[in-house]
Amino acid sequence: MGYLGEFEQLILFSVLQLGDDACGVTIRDAIEARTGRVVSSGAIYTTLGRLEERGLVSSSEGVPPSGRPGRPRKHYALEPAGARQLMDAYAAIQAMAADLVPALAKLAEG
């Protein structure tokens, strides 16, 4: 089983969330909307490229229904392997965090 970095996890969750509409701009928007983090477009594509090489996502080129006509887009979809790894990573975090959240919040406040 491979390891997934935090940013990779964010991206995989976005791809999952966006479904058919998952491409560079929309993923960037989704991350910004949910986490407030502004990331560069290049970082998204290089990360997705790496994930694709590992077989965790797949890509296809085309024009999205909601997009501007004429603009080439690359769409991404989550592969079963990617979904498994993301689930594992999230489970690992959840397992580690279990019962600790109140203590963590208290520490962070104080």
Partner 1 sequence: MVDRPGPGAPRALRLIASWLIRSRDARFILHDLDEIFARDVARGVGSWRARARYVHNALGSAASVWRADAHRLRVPALPGVSWLDVKLGVRMLGKHPAFTVVAGFALALGIPVGLMPLQIFHAFNAPMPFDEGERIVGLRNYDISIQDPAPRAIHDFETWRAELTSVSAMAAVSSARHNLVDEDGRAEPVRGSEMSAVGFDILRVSPVLGRRLLPADELPGAPPVVVLGYDLWQTRFGGAADVVGRTVQVGATRRTVVGVMPEGFLFPYRDNLWMPWQARALDYEWGQGPALWMLARLRDGVTAAQARAELETVARRTAAAHPETHEHLRAEVVPFTWTVTGMEARFNLEFFQIQAMALLLLAVACGNIGTLMLARAATRSSEIAVRTALGASRARIVGQLFVESLVLALLAAAAGLVISSVVVDRSTLLTRSMPFWFDLGVGSSTVVWAGALAAFSAAIAGVIPALKATGPSVQRNLQRLAPGGGGVRFGAISSGLIVVEVALSVCFLSVVGVLGWKGILSRELDPGIPTAEYLTASLRMPYAPPGDAPEAERRAFAERFGRIQEEIARRLAAEPGVRGVVFADRLPGMDHPSRRIEIEGEDLPLNAAGTAHTATVGPDYFEALGRPVLAGRGFDSGDLASERRAVLVNESFVARLLHDQNPIGRRVRYAARPGDEPGPWFDIVGVVSDLGMEALDPALAAGIYHVAPPGEIHPLRLGVHVGRDPESFAPTLRALAAAVDPTLTVPDAVALDEAFSEARWGAVWGAFLFAVLALIAIALSTAGLYALMSFTVSQRTREIGIRTALGADPRRIVGSILRRASIQIVAGVLLGSGLGAALLVDLSNDPMFHTPQWPSVLAATAAFMVLVGLLACAGPTRRGLRVLPSDALREG
Q: Which of 34, 37, 46, 105 binds partner 1 (CB under 8 A)?
A: 46
Question: Cα(17)–Cα(12) distance, rounded to whole angstroms?
Answer: 9
**What is the distance between the terminal CA atoms of the chain, rounded to a whole angstrom?**
38
71 forms part of the interface with partner 1 (CB under 8 A):
yes
In whole angstroms, the minimum distance from the beta carbon of 19 to partner 1 comes to: 19
In whole angstroms, the minimum distance from the beta carbon of 98 to partner 1 comes to: 34
Tell me how far CA of residue 101 lies from CA of 5, 9, 37, 40, in angstroms: 21, 20, 22, 31
63 forms part of the interface with partner 1 (CB under 8 A):
no
> Is 85 in contact with 16 (CB distance < 8 Å)?
no
Closer to partner 1 by Cβ: residue 61 or 99: 61
Which residues contact partner 1 (rule: CB under 8 A)?
23-25, 28, 39-43, 45-47, 49-50, 68, 71-74
